[in-house]
Amino acid sequence: MSLFNIKDYHVQDDTDSTAAIQQAIDDCEKAGGGTVYIPSGTYQTGPFALKSNMTLYLDAGTVLSFTDDFERYPVVKTRWSGYVCYGFMPLIFGENVTNVAIKGDGVIDGNGQAWWKVNAQLRKGENFQSPKTEEIAEANKDFTEPADTNLVEWSSQFLRPPVIQFFEAEHVTISGVTVKNSPFWNTHLVFCDNVSIQNVTFQNPSDTPNGDGLDIDSCQNVRISACHFDVGDDCVVLKSGINQDGRHYGVPTKNVTVTNCTMHHGHGGVVFGSENSGGIENVTVTNCIFDGTDRGIRIKTNRERGSYIRNILVQNIMMDNVLCPIAINSFYRHGVSKSNPELLDAAPVAVTEKTPIVEHINISHITARNCRAAAGFIYGLPEMPVRKVTIEHVTLEMTLDETVPGGEPDMVREVINMAGEGIFAKYVEDLRFHHVEVKQRKGAALQLHNAKRIKIDELTSTNQNEQEPVLIYEDTEELHLTGHESNLQKAGEI
């Protein structure tokens, strides 16, 4: 095995190591492959690029500490918030590479604080401009699609980078390391095939803007296992490009497994979308723990995304202290064109290539306790209901503490605030509940609105209020109920 120890490249303590690391990587490539070894110690560095047939190995006690000097980051082609465009180079970048790995027990620190500060300025309406953002703007001058959205950074072209990004790569492995304090998303894989991510710790402060843990974006054959997430946004996110740009590339995320992971804090445990315009399908999520994530399993899309989210299997999940354990939302109100009010209109619109399809979702053997807003939330489109969802062998318990605030189970066209309530479903078809227990603090165990072909087999409510019905429904067709009479006698209609 060819080993390239960066200590052999005259790295000095308290000096910049970028040139030494990149030279070791380039020498490894020239030798036909091998391992670039970074022994224990703290190394100040700027961005660098990985090459094919190599392993970057960080020994225990190693810290790669990245610069926050924005001008040191070259402008590269990337995918940013769903759009293929130009932006700051990711801190560790692997473009058009194959058979490449990042391994070890070391820490990769993105030092994102300065990047977050600029984002906060932009959110306040303040301006930011630098030679590098002007260079990015020049590279993106012919790309105008995002200008009509609510992306806060597009006008400034301060398009923050992830810590790690693989772009158009094959046979990628990330194992053992800790990745933290990302300027933007933590780790981002785009147009990749055959990916293994295992035993990785993803860390971002709770207030990190857009501080996702792991974003899988138009990738196939991905295995994620035994990872830990404690981040400021979604933990694991599956995406495939946004709107017309995403449909133009048309590369789905498919054949993905997420297993044996722990999610401690974050906006969502495992999230699908909202950038799903290339399609998302054939995904399993199993044997995970979500502790303190806002939502547990979350699917979100809207009238601009089009394509599909389908063939999703979720089972054996334990959740605690989540806002809403299951949220499926085709009417997501963020990331839509500001100039088109039809996108958030309550009336049905014509079905086109922009209409998203959400179907064939199977969720089973879930236990969720101390939930705050709703036990579940499913909201389709009037012109394209969410279809063929099965929820079975599930226990969903709301917190009984009335001082704990609720909130929005998900961000649909209108604001729906809930607290301690059951499952809410609107614009759904072929929805099946089997052995579902709901312990709500108030209201019905299940509300159905604009629903069709609903089958309920053993829906149990443990609400202590005898006056509350188990089921409330309106504008519902072909409702089939089976189970113990005691579970159904409270059923009512509004």
Is residue 488 pLDDT above 50, yes or no? no
Q: Which of 162-176, 207-221, 223-237, 333-347 has the lowest mean pLDDT?
A: 333-347
pTM: 0.96
Average pLDDT, the chain: 94
Confidence grade of residue 492 (pLDDT, cut at 50, 70, 90): very low
**In this structure, are strands 83-88 and 75-80 parallel, antiparallel, or unpaired?**
antiparallel
Mean pLDDT value across residues 40-53: 97
Mean pLDDT value across residues 99-107: 98
- Choose between 336 and 407: higher pLDDT: 407
pLDDT tens-digit map of 145-180: 887 777 889 999 999 999 999 999 999 999 999 999
Specify the residue for token string 């209201």. Answer: 443
Mean pLDDT value across residues 465-488: 79
pLDDT value at position 464? Answer: 55
Exposure of 266 by Cβ count < 10 A (0-12 exposed, 13-18 middle, 19+ buried)?
Answer: buried
User: What are the structure tokens assigned to 137, written together?
Assistant: 């703007």
**Closest C-alpha to 373, from 415, 333, 344, 413:** 415
Cβ contacts of 430 within 8 Å, gap of 6 or more: 387, 388, 389, 452, 453, 454
Mean pLDDT value across residues 176-203: 98
439: left (phi over 0), alpha (psi -120 to 50) or beta: beta
pLDDT value at position 465? Answer: 65
pLDDT tens-digit map of 290-309: 999 999 999 999 999 999 99
User: What are the structure tokens assigned to 390, written together?
Assistant: 């099965």
How far apart CA 348 and CA 108 sit, in angstroms, is 48
pLDDT value at position 282? Answer: 98
Confidence grade of residue 466 (pLDDT, cut at 50, 70, 90): low
Q: How many Å from the N-terminal Cα to the C-terminal Cα in the chain?
A: 72
How far apart CA 380 and CA 427 sit, in angstroms, is 5
Question: E strands, 110-186, where?
Answer: 164-167, 170-175, 178-180
Confidence grade of residue 489 (pLDDT, cut at 50, 70, 90): very low
- Catalytic amino acids? 233, 267
Q: Which of 142-146, 226-230, 364-368, 395-399 has the lowest mean pLDDT?
A: 142-146
Which of helix, strand or coil describes residue 442? coil
pLDDT tens-digit map of 384-443: 999 999 999 999 999 999 999 999 999 999 999 999 999 999 999 999 999 999 999 999
pLDDT value at position 341? Answer: 86
Is residue 14 pLDDT above 80, yes or no? no
pLDDT tens-digit map of 24-38: 999 999 999 999 999
Q: What is the DSSP string of 249-313?
A: H---EEEEEEES-EEEEEEEEEEEES--TT-EEEEEEEEEEEEEEEEEEEEE--TTT-SEEEEEE
Mean pLDDT value across residues 119-148: 94
pLDDT value at position 151? Answer: 85
Is residue 487 pLDDT above 50, yes or no? no
User: What are the structure tokens assigned to 21, written together?
Assistant: 């690391």
Is residue 485 pLDDT above 50, yes or no? no
Helix (DSSP H) and strand (DSSP E) numbers for the chain: 5, 33
How far apart CA 336 and CA 352 sit, in angstroms, is 16
Mean pLDDT value across residues 330-335: 92
Is residue 333 pLDDT above 70, yes or no? yes
